[in-house]
Structure 1
Amino acid sequence: MSERMRVLAPRPALAQYASYGGGLGGRFSRRGMLAGAGALGMGLLAGCQSSGSVASSPAADGRIESKLNVYSWGDYDDPDVLDAWSAAHDVKLQVDAYGSNEELIAKLAAARGTSGYDIVVPTGLRVPDMAEHGLIQKLDMSLIPNLDTIDPNFRGQDYDPNDEYSVCKAWGTTGFVYDTSAVPRELTSWQDFIDVAQDEANGTTMLLEDPWEVVAIALAALGHDLNTIDEGELDEAADIVVEQLAPTARAYLGNANTAMAQGGFVLMQAFNGDARQGIMEADDPDRWKFVFPTPSANIWTDNWCLATGAPNPDAAHSFINHVIAPDNAFAQVDYIGYHTGSSVLAEPGIEDDFDFADIVFPTQEVLDRLVPSEFNSGQARRVEIFTDAQARSGT
């Protein structure tokens, strides 16, 4: 295993396009959140019943259903990988897109097992409450033999310690990208981000449409725990976000790629895969630089899960097994810009096969300082800070 991907971090700390049919719409953020989404919290799950059921096994002759319905983040899989599975099994594949975990949860909670979706792709921190309230059901891992090809660092996570409900789809982190022609000096920290936002990038700064992520900028610069629930520390962060960052912000978007395509931005908070895509599609990619900022930032995972009441469970297992196969890992990473957790990506020299590989494969030094976001009692305050910031920005 290469040094770059030796380990992510100690495991306890780690925690479509309307439809698919061969033609894909524009890219969205796979992490874009509605401004107030986090405040909904567990309220979305009220009244849902818990479920520990396991999907049925396929027919003895190996046949699977003729349809599969997937509900995922927009444009989050290589179309060729999807086409190959659909054609091989003569299955009609439908992929619908959502923009936030809360949107996904609201849809499943309202349907109460009748959504018609088979596969959903929640972020890791939402897996436990979705399982507890019966929105997802246990997978039959015996039908997903390619699970053995997932790097051990992405199995047995705190949100699913026994690998019952989820299979790693992708993971990433948060940083920022800046225009080196406007900011010729080297930036390395979140404090640098705050300083540049008030100077060279005043009025041309983009912040993510995500309360946790925006508040984390200030918490990191202050040296506080990114998941703090301490009211005093959150108040300190509020002063920075509302008084220093908000007046400089031109927009709150879910995707730095969108901001780069629109133009007019100098500094953008960004998820690493989105930033890579934006840089690759830019007319002058060398003009842009992505930073894994010190002292810390979020690390997240998205996961393949089986929706409760899935009408096509056999096709769902077959699909997941296909998408995580080692021979599909390269195509998936190259298309979405995020590491899939496949152990094949840990082979020495694999980075040489990717453009802007340093954005996809953070160094071990970076990985060691990343922390997963937590959905805790401080979320309501974060949403309040975020809402105040947007009002101050006039957005």
Structure 2
Amino acid sequence: MSRDNNVRILASHAGARAIRQELSRRHFLSLAALAGASAALSACGSGGGGGESSAVEPGAGATGGPVEKSLSIYTWGDYDSPEVIDAFGKTGPKVTLDSYGSNEELISKLVAAKGTSGYDIVVPTGVYIPQLIENDIIVPFNKDLIPNMAKVDPQFLGQDWDPENEYSVCKCWGTTGFVYDTTVIKRDLVTWNDFIDAMQNEASGKTSLLDDPQGVAGLYFWANDIDWNTEDMADYDAYEAEAVEKWAPHIAGFDSYPATGAMQQNTFALMQNWNGDSRLGILEHKQPDRWKWVLPGPTTELWMDNWCIPTGAPHPEAAHAFIDYVLEPENSFLEMDYIGYNTGIQGIEEMAKERKVELPEMIFFTDEQLATMKNGAVNEAQDRRTEVYDKLKAAASA
């Protein structure tokens, strides 16, 4: 976990790509994922030994020998550039992608497999990495085989969950804000309190919140400048009272993917959403100028997903080769351009400007904006958070 819940990181020109329909990593903060992953890790105890007794082999056995002919990646749906995957495949390994919709699904599968999952690379969210390390679910890199790690911006390295980047390296990161229809809401919205006010006024009956207990709770805590990782039950009582009694009558839906449908059909006028998905929705809309993206204050979230190698990876040479390959700036740019999230490579913002990537302000953020972003946490408030969320959904009948 990060000190004081802060994460020390920052954080298309090729043409708008087809809107994504399958599940994507944006569900990673769902309550089920948080609680389920914690339960799975707790149940597995110290996994393959953990701590001082760990027998996990550094580099998963990779020594720089011949790259195997196969590579299996277990990741969030539609989360990698097909161009990058295809190009790497031409270097030798046949790449297979399997997808999951939550950290719970990822962790539960790896725990049950006990090192026999068959996967070579996984992409967990940062807050889970200490538990994955402790339970020997991921293994240390052979960093000699990933020289392109030196091309990652130092601000994206040395996170508190893995200070030496022994087990993980940034894949990408993002944040939460909202978009609104300026033909319906004609005033400027700037803060989460503005969002809540518009939800109860101009956008009443046309507001969508994330289908995500943690993100919806965050809306209340961010608006009230309360640490969104609070475990104080009095904070949740106040959140429940406001959400169930005041918000519910105005909510039309809980949708983590409005850009893939509802936004194009103008179903909602106000949508809480992640920056990359909102960007896609605007780029794909017939009237893109109709929509305005807001990174609201006073605080909001920040998440970071990471390349890792699971215990028992059958193709460790190929795993290291791929991670090094995707950290090459040109390949990282293609990843960023496809998914719409910052990949953390040095100079990638300058590359985006030179190549005239559309809506770069929805990918790259200023130091002042970064200062408002706080990382989530796995903690003891999960059950209460979900209880309030369920009551809100029931009251909204959405």
Alignment TM-score, normalising by the size of structure 2: 0.89
Q: Secondary structure at the match of 1:298?
A: strand
Deviation track 1:44-82 (CA, whole Å, cap 9, x = no partner) reads 12125135431245466x421111111111111111011
* Cα distance in 1, alignment partners of residues 243 and 22 from structure 2: 28
Change (3 A) 1:348 1:103: closer
* Percentage identity across paired residues of the two chains: 44
1:1-395 map, 5 Å: 13-14=6-7, 26-33=21-28, 34=30, 36-45=32-41, 46-48=43-45, 49=47, 50=50, 51=54, 52-56=56-60, 58=62, 62-88=65-91, 90-258=92-260, 259-261=262-264, 263-347=266-350, 350=353, 353-395=356-398
* Cα distance in 2, alignment partners of residues 303 and 235 from structure 1: 34
Residues 351 and 361 in structure 1, CA contact (< 8 A), matched pair in contact too: no
Query: Once superposed, which parts of structure 1, at least 4 consecutive aligned residues long, lie more than 6 Å away?
Result: 9-12
Deviation at 1:252, TM superposition (A): 1.7
Residues 333 and 351 in structure 2, CA contact (< 8 A), matched pair in contact too: no
Q: Secondary structure at the match of 1:69?
A: strand
* Cα distance in 1, alignment partners of residues 111 and 329 from structure 2: 34
* Cα distance in 1, alignment partners of residues 352 and 72 from structure 2: 36
Deviation at 1:196, TM superposition (A): 1.1
* Cα distance in 2, alignment partners of residues 253 and 140 from structure 1: 41
Residues 276 and 337 in structure 1, CA contact (< 8 A), matched pair in contact too: yes
Deviation at 1:237, TM superposition (A): 1.7
Q: Which stretch has the larger CA shift, 32-41 or 149-158?
A: 32-41
Provide structure 2 residue ranges, at least 5 long, that are not aligned to the other structure: 9-17
Change (3 A) 1:222 1:114: same
Q: Which stretch has the larger CA shift, 151-160 or 383-392?
A: 383-392
* Cα distance in 1, alignment partners of residues 31 and 219 from structure 2: 16
* Cα distance in 1, alignment partners of residues 31 and 374 from structure 2: 22
Q: Secondary structure at the match of 1:175?
A: strand
Deviation at 1:120, TM superposition (A): 0.7
Residues 349 and 364 in structure 2, CA contact (< 8 A), matched pair in contact too: no
Deviation at 1:206, TM superposition (A): 1.3
Deviation track 1:205-234 (CA, whole Å, cap 9, x = no partner) reads 111122111101111111211211111122
Q: Which stretch has the larger CA shift, 244-253 or 222-231?
A: 244-253
Q: Which stretch has the larger CA shift, 43-52 or 227-236?
A: 43-52
Deviation at 1:254, TM superposition (A): 2.4
Deviation at 1:190, TM superposition (A): 0.5
Q: Secondary structure at the match of 1:139?
A: coil
Q: Which amino acid aligns with 1:244?
A: K
* Cα distance in 1, alignment partners of residues 282 and 198 from structure 2: 20
Residues 80 and 338 in structure 2, CA contact (< 8 A), matched pair in contact too: yes
* Cα distance in 1, alignment partners of residues 394 and 238 from structure 2: 18
Q: Which stretch has the larger CA shift, 157-166 or 372-381?
A: 372-381
Deviation at 1:131, TM superposition (A): 1.5
Q: Secondary structure at the match of 2:308?
A: strand
Residues 155 and 168 in structure 1, CA contact (< 8 A), matched pair in contact too: yes
Q: Which stretch has the larger CA shift, 192-201 or 342-351?
A: 342-351
Change (3 A) 1:87 1:296: same
Deviation at 1:242, TM superposition (A): 2.1
Q: Secondary structure at the match of 1:164?
A: coil
Q: Which amino acid aligns with 2:39?
A: G
Q: Which stretch has the larger CA shift, 78-87 or 262-271?
A: 262-271
Q: Which amino acid aligns with 1:26?
A: Q
Q: Secondary structure at the match of 2:38?
A: helix
Deviation at 1:351, TM superposition (A): 6.9
Instruction: State the superposition RMSD in angstroms.
Output: 2.3
| Equivalent residue, structure 2, for 1:6 | none
Residues 38 and 380 in structure 1, CA contact (< 8 A), matched pair in contact too: no
Change (3 A) 1:140 1:12: farther
Q: Secondary structure at the match of 2:330?
A: helix
Residues 34 and 103 in structure 2, CA contact (< 8 A), matched pair in contact too: no
Deviation at 1:27, TM superposition (A): 4.6
Deviation at 1:119, TM superposition (A): 0.7
Residues 120 and 315 in structure 2, CA contact (< 8 A), matched pair in contact too: yes
> How many aligned residue pairs are there?
378
Residues 145 and 321 in structure 1, CA contact (< 8 A), matched pair in contact too: yes
Residues 168 and 307 in structure 2, CA contact (< 8 A), matched pair in contact too: yes
Q: Secondary structure at the match of 2:325?
A: helix
Deviation at 1:161, TM superposition (A): 1.0
Provide structure 1 residue ranges, at least 5 long, that are not aligned to the other structure: 1-8, 16-22
* Cα distance in 2, alignment partners of residues 351 and 393 from structure 1: 46
Deviation at 1:376, TM superposition (A): 1.5
Residues 209 and 254 in structure 1, CA contact (< 8 A), matched pair in contact too: yes
Residues 60 and 312 in structure 2, CA contact (< 8 A), matched pair in contact too: no
* Cα distance in 2, alignment partners of residues 299 and 256 from structure 1: 20
Change (3 A) 1:352 1:312: closer
